[in-house]
Amino acid sequence: MGSLFAELARQASANARREVEIYAREIPEFGFLDKDPRARAETLEHALWLRHRTVELSPDNSGLSDDDLDHIASMGEARAAAGMSLDARQRVLAVHTALMLREINEATEAQRGGGVDELMRMMSWFAPQGERGISAYRQGFVRVLRRRMPYVEQVALLTRSLLNGDPISAELAAAVDLELPDRCAVTVFRLPERPAVDQILETEIETLVKSRQVPVMWGPDEGDGSGELIALIPLGDGAPPTRSEPPHTAPDLLPELTPAHVPDLVRDLTRALGRPCAVGTATAPLSGLADALDRARRISRAAPLRRASAWSRPHTLADVFVELALADVPFVDAWLRTLARDLETGPDLLLTLDAYYRHDMHRGATATALNVHTRTLDYRLRRVRELTGMDPGSTRGVRTLSAVVARHLSGAWR
């Protein structure tokens, strides 16, 4: 055994103890190690075993055996059984990997610059075998989750892991029998009041997840009684393109179009929720889901609240980019709110304008949607013109009054 490997073997016990101390100090979920000697001893035993196997296998570039991988998987099972969160698990893997690299570097420095060949042999072994070990650990972790957690909670973990870019998402997807697409339409359903998640709602959501292959999760509690459901609607290779991108244009600056199958899924989920909601969507590859979630969430906050029966498709950036900008210009927003107050004095004028613009200013379709005569519609539109000085069908009227309607229906002025 060369000097690098001998140095690593000599320092194995001290390095394992250092790892356990860092777990207890830097990962809150490992604080119990200071109070539970048995758990601390088991954690130390695992850390020491990994270092011994590294020193035994790496000189000859021997791979981890099936027994080794089973043992590593049992570590993941033990952590999941103890209730470790995905965030803590990821932190454990990051700390362990960083410490192993640090120990290799320290052992190299202890040789005063020698052992370059041994260092290269060690690093060529460490990367692929480390990946195999981490994969086994994740598989063991997921096996316990699959046995212990309800299906909907497993799906929520998958959704969260995808949004966080956590590699465990592959194992979680396999556990719940979902295929991971190349791209998703990250879709946020904003609800003014967060519903109580009862058995009926969970069953309906579970049915949709299984039949439509759509990971979903509830968003964080904002403390104001509101809520949001987040869905990752898959966009497979066969899905129509989400937009046409001119050359030399930054994709994130282009308005997104809704893929053809997304509206049906949105309607199904909205019906399951059973209450008005505002829906925003943004598309992205799996590597960009976190940014897409931020965009979809902003869009949902600017979008109007609607009942399931009123949905034609979710809102995209192209639908609410004006309202998104207005939210950051208080004096313009205040002016529009004044117009809304003026319109509230008339007979259902805001409701009428909403239907008018949603039906592309077609009088017949608007009157039918409102269940009124076209003469009644014409009267209301004249009343809007009298109150605001703007013809709803003019360029100025469309630009201004459509923004008034959208801001009013979004609940932003409540």
What's the pLDDT tens digit per position in 114-134?
Answer: 567 888 888 899 999 999 999
Residues 134, 299: Cα–Cα separation, whole Å: 37
Domain membership flag for residue 193:
yes
Q: What is the CATH number of the domain that holds 394?
A: 1.10.10.2840
Q: Which H or E run contains 196? A: none
Angstrom distance (rounded) from CA 25 to CA 95 = 12
What are the pLDDT digits (tens) for 348-377? 999 999 999 999 999 999 999 999 999 999
Mean pLDDT of 20-44: 90
- Give, in order, the Cα–Cα distances in Å from 19 to each of 94, 173, 235, 348: 11, 31, 42, 67
Closest CA to 323 of 300, 349, 342, 346: 300
Where do we find the tokens 């009124």? Answer: 372
Q: pLDDT tens, 286-330?
A: 999 999 999 999 999 988 888 866 666 788 888 888 888 888 888
Q: For the chain, what percent of residues have pLDDT higher than 90?
A: 47
Do 35 and 158 lie in one domain? The reply is: no
Domain that holds residue 386: 329-410
The mean per-residue pLDDT over the stretch 137-161 comes to 89
CA distance 388 to 393: 13
pLDDT surpasses 50 at 188: yes
Compute the mean pLDDT over every residue in the chain, rounded to the nearest whole number: 86
Query: In the structure, what pLDDT confidence band is assigned to residue 257 with cuts at 50, 70 and 90?
Result: low
Those residues with Cβ within 8 angstroms of residue 343's Cβ, 6 or more apart along the chain or in another chain: 349, 350, 353, 384, 387, 388, 404
> Is the domain of 170 the same as that of 109?
no
- CATH code of the domain containing 116: 1.10.490
Between residues 197 and 51, the one the model is more confident about: 51
Q: Which residues of 338-363 are buried (b: 16+ CB within 10 A; e: fewer)?
A: ebbebbeeeeebbebbbbbbbbeeee
pLDDT at 259 over 70: no
Q: 306 pairs with which residues across the strands?
A: 277
Q: What's the pLDDT score for residue 376?
A: 95
pLDDT of residue 404: 93
State the average pLDDT over residues 60-87.
Answer: 91
pLDDT band at 253, cuts 50/70/90? very low
Q: What is the enclosing helix (H) or strand (E) of 315?
A: none
> Closest Cα partner for 264 from 225, 286, 233, 295?
233
> CA–CA separation, 163 vs 323, rounded Å?
26
Quick check: 244 pLDDT over 50?
Answer: no
Position 211 confidence tier, pLDDT thresholds 50, 70, 90: confident
Reported pTM:
0.73
At 284, which helix (H) or strand (E)? Answer: strand 278-285
List phi, psi (to 5°) of 277: -155, 160
State the pLDDT at residue 249: 38
3-state SS string over 334-359?
A: HHHHHHHHHHCCCCCHHHHHHHHHHC
Same domain for 192 and 141, yes or no, is no
Last residue of a domain, one of 297, 317, 337: 317
Domain end marker among 148, 166, 184? 148
pLDDT attached to residue 247:
39
Q: Tell me whether residue 52 is in a domain.
A: yes
Residue reference for tokens 């990367």? 127
Domain count, the chain: 3
DSSP 252: G
CA-atom Rg of the chain in angstroms: 29
